Amino acid sequence: MHMHKFEKIWLIFGVTALLVFLTVLGVSAFYLGNQPPSCLATVDPEKVDTTAPFNEPGLKKVEGKDWDYELVFVAQAFAYTPGDVEVPLGAKVKVIATTKDVIHGFEVAGTNINMMVEPGYISELVTTFDKPGEYLVLCNEYCGSGHHMMTSKIKVVE
Protein backbone atom coordinates (compact mmCIF):
# COMPACT_ATOMS: atom_id res chain seq x y z
CA MET A 1 0.00 0.00 0.00
CA HIS A 2 1.28 3.38 -0.90
CA MET A 3 1.28 5.84 1.94
CA HIS A 4 2.34 9.46 1.82
CA LYS A 5 5.26 10.40 4.05
CA PHE A 6 3.13 12.99 5.89
CA GLU A 7 0.43 10.42 6.54
CA LYS A 8 3.01 8.22 8.24
CA ILE A 9 4.11 11.17 10.40
CA TRP A 10 0.64 11.98 11.74
CA LEU A 11 -0.30 8.33 12.16
CA ILE A 12 2.81 7.81 14.29
CA PHE A 13 1.86 10.93 16.28
CA GLY A 14 -1.70 9.68 16.79
CA VAL A 15 -0.69 6.15 17.78
CA THR A 16 1.96 7.53 20.17
CA ALA A 17 -0.65 9.81 21.79
CA LEU A 18 -2.95 6.80 22.24
CA LEU A 19 -0.15 4.73 23.82
CA VAL A 20 0.76 7.62 26.16
CA PHE A 21 -2.90 7.87 27.18
CA LEU A 22 -3.25 4.15 27.90
CA THR A 23 0.04 4.13 29.84
CA VAL A 24 -1.08 7.09 31.98
CA LEU A 25 -4.39 5.33 32.61
CA GLY A 26 -2.69 2.03 33.50
CA VAL A 27 -0.12 3.62 35.84
CA SER A 28 -2.87 5.67 37.51
CA ALA A 29 -5.15 2.68 38.07
CA PHE A 30 -2.76 -0.20 38.78
CA TYR A 31 0.31 1.50 40.26
CA LEU A 32 -1.12 4.58 42.00
CA GLY A 33 -4.35 2.74 42.88
CA ASN A 34 -6.71 5.45 41.66
CA GLN A 35 -10.31 4.38 41.39
CA PRO A 36 -13.67 6.01 40.75
CA PRO A 37 -15.31 7.58 43.86
CA SER A 38 -18.01 4.92 43.87
CA CYS A 39 -16.11 1.66 43.86
CA LEU A 40 -17.97 -1.42 45.16
CA ALA A 41 -18.79 -0.04 48.64
CA THR A 42 -22.51 -0.43 49.29
CA VAL A 43 -25.11 0.54 51.88
CA ASP A 44 -28.80 -0.27 52.24
CA PRO A 45 -30.44 2.98 51.07
CA GLU A 46 -33.39 2.46 53.44
CA LYS A 47 -31.14 2.09 56.49
CA VAL A 48 -28.74 4.98 55.81
CA ASP A 49 -29.75 6.83 59.01
CA THR A 50 -28.91 3.87 61.21
CA THR A 51 -25.80 2.66 59.38
CA ALA A 52 -22.33 3.90 60.40
CA PRO A 53 -20.82 6.29 59.45
CA PHE A 54 -24.00 7.86 58.03
CA ASN A 55 -25.77 7.85 61.41
CA GLU A 56 -23.46 10.73 62.38
CA PRO A 57 -22.95 13.01 59.38
CA GLY A 58 -20.30 15.69 59.65
CA LEU A 59 -16.58 15.96 60.28
CA LYS A 60 -14.96 13.40 62.55
CA LYS A 61 -11.32 13.03 63.58
CA VAL A 62 -9.95 9.55 62.99
CA GLU A 63 -6.78 7.84 64.18
CA GLY A 64 -4.49 5.32 62.53
CA LYS A 65 -5.64 5.89 58.97
CA ASP A 66 -4.01 7.51 55.95
CA TRP A 67 -6.25 10.53 56.48
CA ASP A 68 -6.87 12.71 59.57
CA TYR A 69 -10.60 13.32 59.25
CA GLU A 70 -13.68 11.78 57.75
CA LEU A 71 -16.32 14.09 56.38
CA VAL A 72 -19.63 12.26 56.07
CA PHE A 73 -22.43 13.64 53.91
CA VAL A 74 -25.92 12.26 53.42
CA ALA A 75 -27.79 13.55 50.40
CA GLN A 76 -31.54 13.46 49.92
CA ALA A 77 -34.02 15.50 47.91
CA PHE A 78 -33.25 18.41 48.19
CA ALA A 79 -30.59 18.89 50.84
CA TYR A 80 -27.31 17.66 52.22
CA THR A 81 -26.64 16.77 55.84
CA PRO A 82 -24.68 18.61 57.21
CA GLY A 83 -25.79 21.82 55.55
CA ASP A 84 -22.73 23.68 56.74
CA VAL A 85 -19.40 22.32 57.94
CA GLU A 86 -15.98 23.67 58.97
CA VAL A 87 -12.77 21.90 58.03
CA PRO A 88 -9.36 22.90 59.44
CA LEU A 89 -6.88 24.15 56.87
CA GLY A 90 -4.39 21.52 55.72
CA ALA A 91 -6.47 18.58 56.94
CA LYS A 92 -6.32 15.39 54.95
CA VAL A 93 -9.94 14.37 54.69
CA LYS A 94 -11.83 11.39 53.35
CA VAL A 95 -15.16 12.61 52.05
CA ILE A 96 -17.77 9.85 52.34
CA ALA A 97 -21.20 10.37 50.82
CA THR A 98 -24.34 8.49 49.95
CA THR A 99 -27.98 9.24 49.17
CA LYS A 100 -31.23 8.10 50.68
CA ASP A 101 -33.39 8.45 47.59
CA VAL A 102 -32.38 9.24 44.02
CA ILE A 103 -29.07 9.94 42.31
CA HIS A 104 -27.52 13.24 43.39
CA GLY A 105 -24.31 15.03 42.52
CA PHE A 106 -21.70 16.12 45.03
CA GLU A 107 -19.59 18.87 43.55
CA VAL A 108 -17.50 21.25 45.60
CA ALA A 109 -17.27 24.19 43.23
CA GLY A 110 -13.73 25.21 42.30
CA THR A 111 -12.12 22.00 43.59
CA ASN A 112 -11.45 18.47 42.34
CA ILE A 113 -14.18 17.07 44.59
CA ASN A 114 -16.88 16.00 42.19
CA MET A 115 -18.72 12.74 42.67
CA MET A 116 -21.99 11.15 41.79
CA VAL A 117 -23.88 9.76 44.78
CA GLU A 118 -26.07 6.81 43.94
CA PRO A 119 -28.65 5.12 46.17
CA GLY A 120 -27.14 1.95 47.60
CA TYR A 121 -23.56 2.98 46.94
CA ILE A 122 -20.96 4.86 48.97
CA SER A 123 -18.87 7.47 47.17
CA GLU A 124 -15.47 8.27 48.68
CA LEU A 125 -12.68 10.67 47.88
CA VAL A 126 -9.52 11.58 49.80
CA THR A 127 -8.14 15.10 49.51
CA THR A 128 -6.18 17.70 51.48
CA PHE A 129 -8.00 20.97 52.09
CA ASP A 130 -5.01 23.25 51.62
CA LYS A 131 -6.70 26.49 50.55
CA PRO A 132 -8.78 28.52 53.01
CA GLY A 133 -12.17 29.82 51.99
CA GLU A 134 -15.83 29.09 51.71
CA TYR A 135 -16.76 26.42 49.22
CA LEU A 136 -20.17 25.76 47.79
CA VAL A 137 -21.33 22.15 47.59
CA LEU A 138 -23.93 21.64 44.93
CA CYS A 139 -25.93 18.95 43.24
CA ASN A 140 -25.02 18.52 39.61
CA GLU A 141 -27.29 15.59 38.79
CA TYR A 142 -30.87 16.62 38.11
CA CYS A 143 -32.80 15.12 41.03
CA GLY A 144 -36.22 16.80 40.93
CA SER A 145 -38.07 20.07 41.27
CA GLY A 146 -35.85 21.41 44.07
CA HIS A 147 -32.59 20.42 42.41
CA HIS A 148 -31.36 24.00 42.00
CA MET A 149 -31.88 24.68 45.74
CA MET A 150 -29.78 21.72 46.82
CA THR A 151 -26.58 23.07 48.32
CA SER A 152 -24.28 22.85 51.30
CA LYS A 153 -21.22 24.79 52.43
CA ILE A 154 -17.71 23.77 53.43
CA LYS A 155 -15.62 26.39 55.25
CA VAL A 156 -11.89 25.77 55.29
CA VAL A 157 -10.63 27.70 58.32
CA GLU A 158 -7.19 28.20 59.92
Partner 1 sequence: MAKAEMKYDTQPENEEHSSLKGTLASVFILGAILVVTWVGVYFLYLDRF
Whose Cβ is closer to partner 1: residue 3's or residue 52's? 3
Cβ neighbours of 124 (radius 10 Å): 17
The smaller minimum CB distance to partner 1, of residues 21 and 142, is found at 21
Of 43 and 85, CB closest to partner 1: 85
Name the residue nearer to partner 1 (CB basis): 25 or 149: 25
Q: Which is nearer to partner 1, 95 or 122 (CB)?
A: 95
Q: How far apart are CA 82 and CA 153, in angstroms?
A: 9
- Least distance in angstroms from the C-beta of 131 to partner 1: 6
Q: How far apart are CA 122 and CA 134, in angstroms?
A: 25
Q: How far is the CB of 14 from partner 1 (least distance, A)?
A: 8
In the complex, least distance from residue 97 CB atom to partner 1, rounded to whole angstroms: 17
Residue 16 near residue 66 (C-beta atoms within 8 A):
no
Closest approach of partner 1 to the CB of residue 112, in Å: 5
d(CA 87, CA 129): 8
Half-sphere exposure of 44 (CA within 13 A, CB side): 7
Helix (H) or strand (E) holding 5: helix 5-26
Residues at the site binding partner 1, with contacts judged by CB under 8 A: 2, 4-7, 9-10, 13, 17, 110-113, 127-131
Cβ of residue 15: shortest distance to partner 1, in angstroms?
12
Q: What angle do CA 141, 73, 107 make, to 5 degrees?
A: 35
